[in-house]
Each structure stands twice: as C-alpha cells, then as structure tokens.
Structure 1
C-alpha cells in the first residue's frame, strides 16, 4: 500500500506556467460570446526580464502618445531555439507597423511576477496591458487600477472566444483569457481497474469510494491517493473546492464580503474527505505529508489506481506507458476548477482603444497557435487550429460549462490558506469537519469583511 500541490504556468501549479492561480475563479458558464478580429501572426510567450521596443512612431500626427507597454511572464523552456522575447517580437511587429505604434514588451520572471505587478500598478508605472491570474483582478479593480474592455469591444471582436466569461468582473469584461487549463480531474489507471474487475469508471463520489475499495480488495495496489503535503490555491482546487462545488456549495457570498463554504454543502464535502481517511481507510496516515510530485510518481509507476490532479499531469502518465482515463466527479452538480489567466488593461493607459486592439491581436488564432508550440494549452478560441489532448477534448468544448474558476474577490487569499490549514488539521485528526470549517470561516470573514467598507 502507498502511504498516503497548481495554477497554470509556473511550477506552483504543477505545470510550467504558462489555470494553479490555478488560481484561479470563475463564474461557471464558459460559453462563447464574441469573436476576435481576423489577424495573421505567430505567437508565444517570452523568458527573462527583458524589454523590446518594436519599431513605429512614438507620437502620432496630433502629438498623441503612440507607445504601448506589455508585461508578460516567461513560458519558453530553458534552452529553447526561440525564447519568449523573440517570439513576441514576431507577434507584435506586424501590429506595430500597421498601427504606427511603438510596443514595449517586458518579460517578468515568475519569482517576482506578483510583486512587480503590485508595485507597478500601485505606482502608476505599470503597463498598458498585463498578464494576470483571473482571481487577481478583483484586488486591482477595487483599487481603480484596471479598465474594462467593454467600451472598446464589439460583438464581432470576441465571438470565437471559448472562455470569455472567465474574464468578467461584476458583468464587465476586465480580462481577456489568454491561458485556460489545469482542469481538476480524477485520473484512473485502466489496467488496475481491469485487474480489480471494474468495468465502468466511477462517475459519482460513492462510485469512487466503491471502486477504490474494490481495487484494494482485489489487487496489491493503493486504491486512491491525494496530495495534502503542500499548501496552495491549486491544491485546494482539486482536494476540496471541486467537492464543494459538486455538492452545490460556494466559496464566498455574492458580494464577496463573507465566506459561504461553512454550509451544508461545504460540510458534506469536508465530511467526504474526512471519511476517505478515517471511515474508508483509503487515505493513508501520511497523506498530509505527500506532495504532488510524490503522488505523480506513484501513479506513473502504477502503484495507485485513482489520483487527483490536473490535465497537465496527463502527458507524463501517458509517456510512462499508462492507459489512463480521467473523470470529473458528480454529486449534486458536476463542476471542475480550471485555471484562467487573462490580459488586463491598466486604467492609466493613455490609449485604451489602441491597447484593446493590441490585446485582440495577441489573442488571435494564429498568434495563439504559435504560442501553443511552446506552451501546450487548450485553444482559447475556435480560430485556433491547435489541438487539446484527446483525453480532455470534450471537457474543453462540449462540456466546458462544467469548468469554473475561483471568484475574483478582493482579499480572498485568506479563504484558501485558512481552508487548507484547517482541513489539514482535520485529516490529522485534530479537528472535526465542523470545527475545521468554522475556524476557516472565521479567518476568511475577517479578511473579506474589508470588502464591505
């Protein structure tokens, strides 16, 4: 028995960032809404702290400032034939020439990413366009630092986008999705299920428990494993928030001023996790010490039948020769967290219409196809020709309505840290599910109450 952690891009989500800030939120309906302008260009994101000034006039004929600045994180692998900076040079050069504009692109390393954005936007020295986790935008909007794209968009601009709702805040389009991925799923090893006599993969919570127990009764492998050994907003997505949403619950109330997880649905989710450990014996005693890397290694080695994770884990499992499947479980509802990262526009931008044009150009189908050559994420629009892993093709198309992101609520980081800390204590046997949620709620409400002022 195996003794019993991610947004998109950076290692904190378990994938090269460039969905886990993952993080994260997302009002659940991710249907297509508008359409990008027709453009041709190559795309990809850049590595290193560098700045690129693409040719064009800085002043228009009327003295108008014709400079646009863009801050992006690095995505290209170390030693790649073409780095992020060179790739973005290919992307925006045609736009700069056509619009007679100077485009300054800065690549901000992941280790200083959030700090750089915070200080830049707070001081007024930030970019016209920047890359943010969708759940970050609430804090910046509350301080008046981000502008809505709405006044500068027409329906035809965004008809092809799959996930436009993920960039909404209070009904306004404050973010245009650029990276969507990291959907939280339960992976299963088909060979182990077959060995245990299981012919149909689980669909519900109860199905999962029954199947995992059947694996342990009929094979020498571990039925199920979760990684609770490292904190983070991404780990919470797969280890608790999916269950909360599937039970019909919510993280915060509608106006973002109080926690909502200490509810019947939230308790049902917490009790289910507790029961995996203490009633069913499916989570080993040291599940609270297992990190994602250890979980992934055990599943890849064929030692675990069911493992919680995100779609970015699939290639490693497939490369290990496993015949795998993946499922989003159902209880009262069927939902899965997906990480969404967006391009935002600064309120301080002197030419918001032109900045919007640039954002749409960067997100055009050909641009994002080029980006996907170095960062393997699902297409963000129907204009792209790049494919998603067949295992998740339906999830990112016909089933996209079940994908949700974290709510873009100011001061929400405490929600995730308090939940993680208290649910950890629950799995250590130090608190009951009721006590864990009550303590997490108290800490979260103290922070969220600031939103009511």
Structure 2
C-alpha cells in the first residue's frame, strides 16, 4: 500500500475516533442555544473559515466574486469570514489532516462521492434543522439528491453538470439522418449506430479506461438498474445490469466504438477529427468544440430505455462537525447558494446553477441552455462511502468482458463478488 493511501486511512480512522468522543457531547447536529430553531436564530456572530478551490483560470475574477459575496454576508451578520483557496490535488488529505488536528475550516467544498464518506464517519453537520426558512423547492431535485445520505442533508449545492450526447452534424448528414430529429431511445440510437458503422464512422466514444460515470453508469441507470444502495445491498447483478453489460459488449464487438475502447481514457482526436457520430460531454466540451472543432454540433437529451438518466456531478459546500460556529457557517451556505449568488458564481465559472430560477443566466438557444435543461436527468453517481473504491472493480470486469475473456454474465457475477468483498471491509 502506498504511504499516501495509508496516511489517508490512518487520518480517517483517527478522525473518526476524535469525532466519536466529540459527538458524545455535542453531536453532529446543531447545538442547542437560546433559540431552539437554528433556521430563525438571531444574533449570529463570531468567525468562520471557508475553504474553496479555483473554479476557473482567472484568480483575480474569482477573488473579486468571493469578496463581494463575503462583504454582503458580513454586512448582514456580525461574522468575520476568513476565505482561503486551496488547490485541487490532494484535497482529501489536506482536509482530513486539518480537521483531525482541529485546524480545519468550518466550511469546505465536496462532490457527491466525497460527501457520504465524510458524513458516514460523522465529519459533517446535518443541515436540515437550518433549512426551514430556505427555499428548497427552487433547487433541482437531482442536485439535492447529491447532498443527502441516509435521509439527511449534509450540503447545499452551488453548481451542477449534465453529461449527454453531442452529435457531429456533418456525420449525421453523411449517414442520411436529420440533426433536428435526434435519437430518443436505445433502439433509435442503434439504427444510427449501424448506419455510422456502415459509412466508416464510429457511433460513439467509449473511454473504457476512464470513470464509470461516463461509461457504464448512464447505461445501467437507463436500463433501470443501480449499483449499491445506502443499506449496503449490491444491486448491480440484475436483469437491468446484464442489459447494460450486453449493450456495451455489443457496441464493442460490432465496431461501433473504437478498437482501443477497452482502456482508452478519451477519443478526442477521433472526435475532433470528424470520425465519431456522438460523444458524451458536458459544459466543458462546448468551449473545446468552439475553440478546436471544425464542424457544427447539436446536443440531445439523454437517451431513454426504461428510464431517462445521465451522469452529472454536483458541487456543494458542507459544514465540518467540529466547527465552533455551525450557526454562522450554515447561514453562509444559504447565502452563497441563493439564486442571486448562484447567478454570479455560475456566470463566471460556466457551470449550471442548482436553482431553477438562476438558470435564466443562459439565453434560449445557446449551448449551455441545452445542458441546463438536462440537469433534471443528471444523477450524481453512486452515493455511497465505497462509491470510489468499487469503480475500478467494475471497470476490470467490463474490460475482461470486452476483451472476450468473460461473457457479460460472468463479468457481472465477478463484479458483484468484488463489490461485496469491498463492502465487507
């Protein structure tokens, strides 16, 4: 085991012990004060520390944005906000180390596969008691799903993405189809895939060496299946799971996806070179196509089989359970994720607001408006503390299947056993 991984596990275990002792006294829910309802508590004061990351390449513009948000909050509350931007690399270790030594932030940024890891060992404050006066109905439902673990809310979402199909208009026309009438179902896409293959094109990109969020999971969800649930039940080995495995295997064996799809991490060269009908992409692909693409493109909603789903991460801010000022921290989360501040944040970063009312930053017909319309279908991945750990286990079995070493059912059986072993650790 690498030293870095060992350090991470030791810190996680150590922090869990620290929290067990702390939570015996104060718990991870809001402390009792003069007002039994934290959502309406007055007299919020003190100091909080916030850790965020760089979300664009423009540090000056981001600093100006955060300064304005913080100034507005400090004008409203007698609270001093200390803000720090920390780099993306090794952020888990940095956060765990700081929290374990009680020198960490009150507020920090996480994504859906981090949140349940932290929540499950008591590292996060449950926010539900603070949200009674917050307009939660305005949030996109799939964004809120990403913030919840075992029926409790641990974060407030500020950004969202949706990954769906981008089609090359030139290829669509070359296979005799209409860019204004894109496939809506698996069966319709199969017809286009066969035509693309017959005309010397790949139907789609399949980066089999990359994340399951972009390879297996969308097909599994669309088939009506899932991987695991919060009760540690392994669900992947099902008729729906088999349908997804067979679909991927079929695409590879028929040559609908590139020859290196077993281990490839991207097919950008083939896509930008006009050799692929469609790729799964999100907002960041728009700028790539506008800068480097030599063809028009159209964006479709996710395909539907039994269900209509896609993958899309959600970025959220959470409150550390050892915060000395959870009241002020929760209020700051509500402030930076309100509609106005989401308009400001997402206009700068080119992500999608998690509040429906804030999506008015996109003009009708512009590419980002199509991405924004699809967040309703965007599941945030496998919400489970083992969500990251099981990905390479599933990936290995898919690769063995595509290489012809296992049948889809054999690969599915092996994936189930591997996941069960990991869950038992």
SS at match of 1:126: coil
| In 2: Cα distance, 1:227 partner to 1:376 partner | 24
Cα shift readout 1:360-417 (whole Å, capped 9, x = no counterpart)? 11123332223234310112224434227734635634x5442211232122322211
What does 1:52-201 correspond to in 2, within 5 Å?
66-77=46-57, 80=58, 82-162=60-140, 163-181=143-161, 183-199=162-178, 200-201=181-182
| In 1: Cα distance, 2:298 partner to 2:62 partner | 33
Which stretch of the first structure deviates more once superposed, 114-123 or 330-339?
114-123
Cα shift readout 1:125-144 (whole Å, capped 9, x = no counterpart)? 32111100122111111211
SS at match of 1:135: coil
The residue number in structure 1 matching 2:192 is 211
Give the drift of 1:359: 1.0
- Number of residue-to-residue matches in the alignment: 375
| In 2: Cα distance, 1:98 partner to 1:253 partner | 41
Give the drift of 1:427: 1.6
The residue number in structure 1 matching 2:387 is 412
Pair 1:273-2:248 in alignment: yes
Would the aligned equivalents of 1:130 and 1:344 in 2 still touch at CA under 8 Å?
yes
| In 2: Cα distance, 1:84 partner to 1:359 partner | 17
Would the aligned equivalents of 1:85 and 1:107 in 2 still touch at CA under 8 Å?
no
**Structure with the larger helix share:** 2
| In 2: Cα distance, 1:122 partner to 1:69 partner | 16
Give the drift of 1:332: 1.2
> 2:229 pairs with 253, 266, 279, which one?
253
Pair 1:436-2:415 in alignment: no
| In 2: Cα distance, 1:275 partner to 1:142 partner | 38
| In 2: Cα distance, 1:250 partner to 1:67 partner | 42
Show structure 1 runs of 4+ deviating over 6 A: none
| In 2: Cα distance, 1:415 partner to 1:112 partner | 20
> 1:324 pairs with 286, 294, 297, which one?
297
In structure 2, relative to structure 1, the CA distance for the partners of 1:221 and 1:250 (3 Å cut) is closer
In structure 2, relative to structure 1, the CA distance for the partners of 1:273 and 1:382 (3 Å cut) is closer
Would the aligned equivalents of 1:246 and 1:331 in 2 still touch at CA under 8 Å?
yes
In structure 2, relative to structure 1, the CA distance for the partners of 1:392 and 1:334 (3 Å cut) is farther
| In 2: Cα distance, 1:373 partner to 1:404 partner | 22
What does 1:324-363 correspond to in 2, within 5 Å?
324-327=297-300, 328-363=302-337
Give the drift of 1:220: 4.0
| In 1: Cα distance, 2:56 partner to 2:279 partner | 28
TM-score after normalising by structure 2: 0.81
| In 2: Cα distance, 1:139 partner to 1:390 partner | 37
| In 2: Cα distance, 1:225 partner to 1:97 partner | 50
The residue number in structure 1 matching 2:202 is 222
The residue number in structure 1 matching 2:274 is 302
In structure 2, relative to structure 1, the CA distance for the partners of 1:289 and 1:412 (3 Å cut) is closer
Would the aligned equivalents of 2:167 and 2:277 in 1 still touch at CA under 8 Å?
yes
In structure 2, relative to structure 1, the CA distance for the partners of 1:447 and 1:121 (3 Å cut) is farther
SS at match of 1:252: coil
In structure 2, relative to structure 1, the CA distance for the partners of 1:155 and 1:394 (3 Å cut) is farther
| In 1: Cα distance, 2:277 partner to 2:381 partner | 28
> 1:366 pairs with 332, 335, 340, which one?
340
Would the aligned equivalents of 1:412 and 1:444 in 2 still touch at CA under 8 Å?
no
Which stretch of the first structure deviates more once superposed, 373-382 or 350-359?
373-382
| In 2: Cα distance, 1:127 partner to 1:81 partner | 21
SS at match of 2:113: helix
SS at match of 1:408: coil
**Where do 5+ consecutive residues of structure 1 fail to align?**
1-61
Would the aligned equivalents of 2:223 and 2:244 in 1 still touch at CA under 8 Å?
yes
In structure 2, relative to structure 1, the CA distance for the partners of 1:290 and 1:167 (3 Å cut) is same
In structure 2, relative to structure 1, the CA distance for the partners of 1:99 and 1:417 (3 Å cut) is same
The residue number in structure 2 matching 1:282 is 256
